[in-house]
Amino acid sequence: MDSIAIWFGETLGQYIPAELVTFIVSLLPILECRGGIVVGRLLGLPLASTIIISVIGNVLPIPFILLFIKRIFKWLKPTKLFGKLVCKLEDRAMKKSSSLSKGEFWGLSLFVGIPLPGTGAWTGALIAALLGIRVKKASIAILLGVAMATVIVSLLMYGIL
């Protein structure tokens, strides 16, 4: 993940402001705020700016995923082009959801907050939507998880630990 974030930072950083690169990287699934923090550090942004930009970029798509992903999947599933991909994404999300079966809220928060590959706000929102967790509850849990991941990665990237 770091190498992808670094590639974005080095490539886009030549043409657009560091803040915008950080924001774009934070919007992307897989990279999310963790990648945004890596890019912000690489491009020399102050810690406070990096955190604010990365968190905003990371949480911006979450309400849309929570509210619309089931409808989008239902619409895409019958198509030849996207049907297999949708099934694969649903299966992957449901396999990861076993860790959330006990204590939905805290399970979702920890799932999003522990910065490991395959976890994060996008996957957490997908799991929450597929499991039918209330949007408000899921949003708060995901936001808490993003905050945890942001603190962990910031401490590591900015040399505080």
CB atoms near residue 36 (< 10 Å): 32
Q: What percent of the chain has pLDDT over 70?
A: 95
Same domain, 71 and 132: yes
User: Could you tell me if 26 and 56 are in contact, meaning their C-beta atoms sit under 8 angstroms apart?
Assistant: yes
Q: What is the pLDDT of residues 53-106, one digit of tens each?
A: 999 999 999 999 999 999 999 999 999 899 999 998 888 777 777 666 667 899
Q: Is residue 36 part of a domain?
A: yes
Within a domain: 117: yes
Distance of CA 139 to the CA centre of its chain: 12
* Last-in-domain residue among 13, 41, 59: 59
Number of domains present in the structure of the chain: 2
Q: What is the Cα–Cα distance from 4 to 134, expressed in whole angstroms?
A: 33
pLDDT at 54: 96
Length in residues, the chain: 161
89 and 126 inside one domain: yes
**The last residue of a domain, from among 40, 59, 78:** 59
In a domain, 130, yes or no: yes
Q: Model confidence over 98-152: pLDDT tens digits?
A: 666 667 899 999 999 998 888 899 999 999 998 889 999 999 999 999 999 999 9
89 and 143: one domain?
yes
- Computed over its alpha carbons, how large is the radius of gyration of the chain? 16
Q: What is the pTM of this model?
A: 0.86
Domain membership flag for residue 159 = no
Write down the pLDDT at residue 64: 95
In a domain, 74, yes or no: yes
CA distances from 130 to 54, 63, 105, 118 (A): 26, 14, 15, 16
Indicate if 47 and 79 belong to the same structural domain.
no
Contact 105/131 with Cβ under 8 angstroms? Answer: no
42 neighbors 9 (Cβ within 8 angstroms): yes
Please check whether residues 48 and 117 belong to one and the same domain. Answer: no
Which range marks the domain in which residue 29 is found?
2-59
